[in-house]
Structure 1
Amino acid sequence: MAPASDAPGDGEKRGLMVNNSLCKEKVPFFTKDGSRNVTWYICGPTVYDSSHVGHARNYVTFDIIRRILEDYFHYNVKYVMNVTDVDDKIINRARRNYLMDQYRSGAIDLNKVIEDLERAMEEELVKQQKKISDTEGGLEKATSSRQKDDLADRVKQEQLKVTKINEARDLLQGQKEEARKLGGKEGINMLLGGSAADSLASQLDARLGATVTDHAIYKSHTLKYENEFWDDMTALGCGYPDVLVRVTEYMDKIIEYVEVVLANKFAYVANGSVYFDTKAFREAGHQYGKLNPAAVGSSLLASESESNFETSEKRTSCDFALWKKSKPGEPAWESPWGLGRPGWHIECSAMASDILGDNMDIHSGGHDLQFPHHDNELAQSEAYFHCHEWVRYFFHSGHLSIDGLKMSKSLKNFITIKEALTKYTARQLRMLFVIQSWDKSINFSTTVVNEALQKEKQFKNFFANVESYLRQHPMAGIQRPGDDEKQLFSRVDQAQIMVRERLEDNFDTAGAVTELLTLVRDVHSYIDKCKSANGKPQPSLLKKAAIFVTKILVVFGLSDAKNDEIGFGSTTSQSGSTGNLTTVVAPYVDGWVSLRDSVRSAVKSNASQAKLMELTDKVRDEDMVDAGVCVVDEGNTSTWRLDDPQVLQRERDERRLKVKEEKLRVLRQKRLQKANLLEKHEASSTSPQEIFKTKDEYKDFAFDERGVPTHDKGGKELPKNAKKKFEAAYKKAVTDHEKFKDSLVKDPHFLQNLRAELQEIVSQILRLEQDR
């Protein structure tokens, strides 16, 4: 293996070890020709819908690994990505959306729409229950442990789909009356905008899909979601591929590829379709199912992504389509076998082979693509090239799961990238993936996200601390290094070595971050020691540590710092501006001038110290936050750092929300106390002689001269225990009434004042609740 070239924090050169799915273990990494040139093909998006955080897990993960190879180990990577713009998912989704639009425009009878939705969900439920039964049957027959695990996971997925249908059905029941109140088109649109419409779209497609013949419907659908995908990738900070290929632009190459596989006698034609012959492939000495042999032959494990798995046209159940005869309602291209379209797997083989040839260093994708997609890609390509190693290293990223199940559009348990970016920054999402093993599953939970946010905060505080010393203590103040300085110099060197070891061990970014944060803690300890000894930390040493940490974060795509900058780089809207100096400094100067004007006015009006502090707090929490400056008060002094204004605004809003929630909690408690007190005083204002007579339940009773009940409405004397109860209540009423009269003597308006106080508390609660 060629030696690794210089990288940030070289240390001792060791070999890069990677987890290769082809051999299920970590192996040394070296390129096919021993050079620094790496060829890499990554399975890109199937552009049928919006990308979700599960997709982000895959593309951000491989963006990080690409950066490490290029920017740390200094390989020259040729990164090729495809866009699948024709396949079963795209055809089904585009067709269903079109048919739902047609249905919606023609729907005028609300009751008929409700009837259609309910019937469609019932039919979908029956189909889904059968899928569960079939999958459970397959699980019982499974022989290998991997197949059992995969099928057990599939059972859970199918059960979740049933849960989602039932939830949609329950929601529809609750919406029906609301829709009837709205009436007409408004009520219809409300129902068709809900999750119940998915089942109806499926039924419409089954009945009318063959009537959709305009191929522009598919083209506009894929164009929309491809543009969305690139917007999402840009927002997440992912680099663009060096080469981009699309299926619809490669039909000639795909057809030519299929012809060669046929000529090599590894495929056969059947009724206008072309199928790969797995039996002939094996008999020629090839291995089929290298990545997941346990799934070979299981229609249950392939059916999620391989349509028409079972068909009488195939010679064996393992065979798969290279070219599919197009059905009515599907896009089609001319071919030697008639009108048709590519199989799912052939597209990647043809496109990757055209760009990278008969052997590539890396092929990557999500863990779920191992079978059938990547196994079938390997088979096709080996059959085409008459080779046994088309791919040298297969990288598969782990799933992103929610509640233990893979995030998936079909399972309806996803969060789109756009939705996630309204709650978290791109850096925070990237940090989430950096601190996990790239080839292991992640359960997307509050705990995992909070861990990423906490680590980001640790780095922010570290950079802010170092920057404050670099501003306060010029380099001219450097003193002779003592033992503490020598120890920290050694720790920086050691951290560089440890980070390299972690990255050489299968791109262990989580371990690398741990090493960086250990160095961060050591720097903080050094600063604390200097403070306790009334000394000053050496700025050059702090900067050395901070520059190293920054460089590694830059490699991971967590920072865009340039040259010898430290920290997360140009995160404010003003930083890196191409405008003039006035434009750049305007937000900060405006904040200072605004404070000066406010303080001058306050001083002239003899404002209190509290008012002056309120003015400074406003600048800290409003003007500076909006300008991307975080000011932190520490005793009688304050420190500051630059940050993304959106992050600071979100943190500020979260703090304010907590304060508001606490105020609401206290006010609600006060409201309850005041209401109970008012109720008690209002009850005690009634004369004891009237307390029973005024209640409806006693209106036909007989009473003594004090107004205490003696006989029920039938004239029957009350039992002793009832009389005791009434006597006790009467005595308490007498006592309470006397106290009430005493209160009136002290303050004749105390009851009205109590009502006013309660009303003011209620008004404060309403104002706070409305100000959300």
Structure 2
Amino acid sequence: MEVRDTLSSSLKRVESTRGKRINMFVCGPTVYDLPHMGHARTYIFFDILARYLRFKGFRVFYLMNITDIEDHIITRAKEEGIQWDSITSRYSNEFFKTMEDIKNNSVNLYAFATDYISEIISQISRLIEAGYAYETSDGIYFRVRKFEGYGKLSHQNLDSLKAGIRVDVNEHKEDPLDFALWKKRKEGEPYWPSPWGDGRPGWHIEDTAITESIFGVTYDIHGGATDLIFPHHEAEIAQMESISGKSPMVRYWIHTGHLNVENIKMSKSLKNFITVKEVLKNYWPEALRILMLSMRYNGPVNFEEKALRDSQNLAEKISILSHRVARAERVENDKSMEMLNDILKPLEDDMNTPEALARITEFVKDSLSSTTPSDTNGGEIRYVLDQLENVTGIVHNVPLPERSLDMLLDLRNEMRNKGNYESSDLIRKRLMEYGIRIEDTTNGSYLWW
């Protein structure tokens, strides 16, 4: 399996240096608002990546941080007139609920930044001792020009770099590119004690403090959205490699592309900001996952209603097939494993999910045209669907229907065969009111929902 590494701008074979163990860190959210479709775009991809690596036999430890102290949080708390930690508690719970709703279940540990203050202070102290950081009247800053490799991830040189998002430009700094490691206490803001006075951590330092604490100074995979490459991930590299003297800090840097809404990048300022909760009111989580699978992870995803409707349509077809074979005994044999491996093979090529999805679509189409629950290959199809659910999370599984529903379906079919269409249609209508659908085919009738 190969993935594209942002640092080397090349495809690299995924291997572990510790047996089958792979340590993966993905930048988590700043919890001051509801999770949006940009979050879904990134976190669904990394959820599927972790699932697939585990399917291949790797022991993946998936770590994600939660930024629970930051300027946006403080601003939101002031706007609502409540404590900052009330904001972080509310929106971290919203985030976890949303991740559960969209079937993102592969994270091993969510690490809150404020639980790692001592580790943050330790890193800053070591950076000061090594001459990579300095104190001013308003905080501690990192000396960017002292770190020779700054800009290597974004493939820029220092002379061309400009202070970017979340980089404070002020008169206290030695250089406009220098970034805050520690912000000294301001009136009305949360703070923690430190050797440099009360204050709070900067944004970039939390990630390296967390990963060093759990993984050590180097690890395997670091993921996040493309807009984090500079300055955030550049800053992480500078911090950790300055302390450790070891390079590269990460063996594979993987970044997801932007989410566009009707071909325009999603942003609050453009008022095209869409929350996941809004989308899930009308579409299955499987449809959302299929939409993300339909486009390459490192390119832009265009959010359009038509594309989401098409994804919902495929999710429903997969669900119909799953219901048809739900009572079949799962069969794992050479044929079922060959079908599965053929579908998943494109993931070996830099997680080519569009090609894998095309093969899933063809598999579902062929299976629906030829399969009944009594077919001998029903168990093989069930095996493939179960494994696809484990890797991609796109199978809308529900409990098997109660036998009473089977009896009701039999009664409806008997009425239909006798020409009593009014009664049979009434049963269909009543079942639909409870979200239960009847699918009539030449091979029989099936319930699904």
2:21 is matched with: 37
Shift of 1:542: 4.7
1:504 and 2:344 are equivalent in the alignment: no
Shift of 1:619: 1.0
2:393 is matched with: 557
Map residues 235-246 of structure 1 onto 2, 5 A cutoff.
235-239=101-105, 241-246=107-112
Counterpart secondary structure, 1:30: coil
Q: Structure 2 length as normaliser, TM-score?
A: 0.89
Distance 1:441 1:539 in 2: 42
| Residue 615 of structure 1, aligned match among 423, 426, 430 | 423
Shift of 1:412: 2.9
Contact kept in structure 2, 1:631 and 1:638, CA below 8 Å: no
1:560-597 CA distance string (max 9 Å, x none): xxxxxxxx43x25x76xxxxxxxx4456667888x79x
1:639 is matched with: 445
Shift of 1:496: 4.2
Shift of 1:506: 1.4
Contact kept in structure 1, 2:7 and 2:152, CA below 8 Å: yes
State how many pairs are aligned: 444
Task: Letter of the 1:387 partner, please give it.
Answer: K
Map residues 279-290 of structure 1 onto 2, 5 A cutoff.
279-282=145-148, 287-290=149-152
Counterpart secondary structure, 2:25: strand
Distance 2:161 2:347 in 1: 39
2:49 is matched with: 65
Task: Letter of the 2:50 partner, please give it.
Answer: R
1:630 is matched with: 437
Shift of 1:634: 4.3
Gaps of 5+ in 2: none
1:292 and 2:154 are equivalent in the alignment: yes
1:514 and 2:361 are equivalent in the alignment: no
Contact kept in structure 2, 1:36 and 1:76, CA below 8 Å: yes
2:375 is matched with: 539
When residues 496 and 427 of structure 1 are mapped into structure 2, their CA distance, relative to the original with a 3 A threshold, is closer
Distance 1:523 1:48 in 2: 45
Percent identical among aligned pairs is 31
Shift of 1:378: 0.8
Counterpart secondary structure, 1:250: helix
1:189 is matched with: none
1:365-401 CA distance string (max 9 Å, x none): 1111111111101110111112221111111122211
Distance 1:260 1:240 in 2: 33
When residues 524 and 251 of structure 1 are mapped into structure 2, their CA distance, relative to the original with a 3 A threshold, is closer
Task: Letter of the 1:453 partner, please give it.
Answer: Q
1:84 and 2:67 are equivalent in the alignment: yes
Contact kept in structure 2, 1:587 and 1:623, CA below 8 Å: no
Q: Which has the higher contact order (CA 8 A, sep 6+)?
A: 2
1:445 is matched with: 304
When residues 502 and 592 of structure 1 are mapped into structure 2, their CA distance, relative to the original with a 3 A threshold, is closer
Shift of 1:17: 0.4
Distance 2:355 2:51 in 1: 17
Counterpart secondary structure, 1:337: coil
Map residues 12-23 of structure 1 onto 2, 5 A cutoff.
16-23=1-8
Shift of 1:426: 1.0
Structure with greater strand share of residues? 2
Shift of 1:493: 6.9
Task: Letter of the 1:376 partner, please give it.
Answer: A
Shift of 1:292: 1.2
Distance 2:334 2:194 in 1: 67
Contact kept in structure 2, 1:67 and 1:555, CA below 8 Å: yes
Map residues 551-700 of structure 1 onto 2, 5 A cutoff.
551-559=387-395, 568-569=396-397, 571-572=398-399, 584-585=402-403, 612-623=420-431, 626=434, 629-634=436-441, 638-643=444-449
Shift of 1:540: 2.1
Distance 2:250 2:325 in 1: 46
Counterpart secondary structure, 1:632: strand
Shift of 1:228: 0.8
Distance 2:96 2:359 in 1: 33
Counterpart secondary structure, 1:621: helix
Distance 1:382 1:411 in 2: 38
Task: Letter of the 1:65 partner, please give it.
Answer: L
Distance 2:26 2:211 in 1: 9
Distance 1:641 1:273 in 2: 64
When residues 383 and 64 of structure 1 are mapped into structure 2, their CA distance, relative to the original with a 3 A threshold, is same
Contact kept in structure 1, 2:286 and 2:312, CA below 8 Å: no
Counterpart secondary structure, 2:77: helix
Distance 1:458 1:491 in 2: 22
Shift of 1:638: 4.5
Q: CA RMSD in A?
A: 3.2
Counterpart secondary structure, 1:241: coil
Shift of 1:49: 0.6
Distance 2:307 2:104 in 1: 22
Q: Structure 1 length as normaliser, TM-score?
A: 0.53
Gaps of 5+ in 1: 1-15, 99-215, 476-488, 529-535, 560-567, 576-583, 600-608, 644-772
Shift of 1:450: 2.9
Contact kept in structure 2, 1:491 and 1:519, CA below 8 Å: no
Shift of 1:524: 6.0
1:364 is matched with: 223
1:16-38 CA distance string (max 9 Å, x none): 101111112211111233x1000
Shift of 1:296: 5.5
Structure with greater helix share of residues? 1
Task: Letter of the 2:57 partner, please give it.
Answer: H
When residues 632 and 587 of structure 1 are mapped into structure 2, their CA distance, relative to the original with a 3 A threshold, is closer
When residues 269 and 506 of structure 1 are mapped into structure 2, their CA distance, relative to the original with a 3 A threshold, is same
Distance 1:369 1:356 in 2: 21
Contact kept in structure 2, 1:60 and 1:433, CA below 8 Å: yes
When residues 514 and 366 of structure 1 are mapped into structure 2, their CA distance, relative to the original with a 3 A threshold, is same
1:155-197 CA distance string (max 9 Å, x none): xxxxxxxxxxxxxxxxxxxxxxxxxxxxxxxxxxxxxxxxxxx
When residues 455 and 464 of structure 1 are mapped into structure 2, their CA distance, relative to the original with a 3 A threshold, is same
Shift of 1:85: 0.5
Counterpart secondary structure, 1:540: coil
Greater radius of gyration (CA): 1
Task: Letter of the 1:88 partner, please give it.
Answer: D
Contact kept in structure 2, 1:378 and 1:390, CA below 8 Å: yes
1:424 is matched with: 283
Shift of 1:226: 0.6
When residues 523 and 83 of structure 1 are mapped into structure 2, their CA distance, relative to the original with a 3 A threshold, is closer
Counterpart secondary structure, 2:281: helix
1:277 and 2:143 are equivalent in the alignment: yes
Distance 2:159 2:310 in 1: 41
Distance 1:549 1:464 in 2: 11
1:353 and 2:336 are equivalent in the alignment: no
When residues 437 and 614 of structure 1 are mapped into structure 2, their CA distance, relative to the original with a 3 A threshold, is same
